[in-house]
Copies of this chain bind each other. A is one copy, B any other.
Amino acid sequence: MSEGVEWAVHCCLTLAWLDEDRPVPTARLAASYELPPAYLNKQLQAMVRAGILASTPGVKGGFRLARPLEKITLMDVVTAIEGPDEAFQCTEIRQRGAGVESPARGFRVPCAVTTAMRKAEMAWRRALAAQTLADVRAAADRHAPQAGESLRRWYARGSSSSPPSSPSSPSSA
């Protein structure tokens, strides 16, 4: 899975924490996590196409949540970023080689391997769909109650300045 999913979820949490009326520019979101702006923008645009974010064009433009965190599941984000395809792609090798000769082998029913793999994938999708970003935010707020406030301070301070670069002062692991 691409790192875009992690980026996209964190950006949604940030937009909720900031709770701004104005759209937040890609450059600010990218700076707040030290991410490459152009590549992050690509992920955010995918989130717009999925109806999770709304974008405003122009110099004062940026992104905003299109709906509340309660209405966004992890499945929504994964589908927006990774696409709807299943991880396991059956290529029907059962129908090749030895299988070519036995057309009556039962190819009308789905491959048993695919069915079994799909069963597991459905369990994954159900677990993703059962968790909203509001659940994720609640867990984050529980573990780090000051995270939202700290982020708001960071955003309030910066205009379009670059993020504080202090690689020599590692944060607690």
Contacts and interface: CB of A to CB of B under 8 A. Distances in A.
Contact of A9 (B107, B113, B123, B151): B113
Given A10-B113, A74-B116, A32 B144 contact: no
A6 interface: yes
A99 B139 contact: no
A115 to B, nearest CB: 6
A140 B114 CA distance: 11
Nearest to A124: B124
Interface residues of A, number: 76
A150 B101 contact: yes
Interface of A is mostly: helix
A105 B115 CA distance: 44
Quick one: copies of this chain in the complex?
Answer: 2
Nearest to A169: B100
Contacts of A104: 146, 172
A38 to B, nearest CB: 16
Interface string A81-118: 00000011111011111111111111111011111110
Contacts of A50: none
A101 B143 contact: no
Contacts of A94: 10, 33
Given A1-B88, A171-B103, A97 B163 contact: yes
Interface of A: 1, 3, 5-7, 9-10, 13, 31-35, 74, 87-91, 93-109, 111-117, 119-128, 131, 135-137, 139-140, 143-147, 150-151, 154-155, 163-164, 166, 169-173
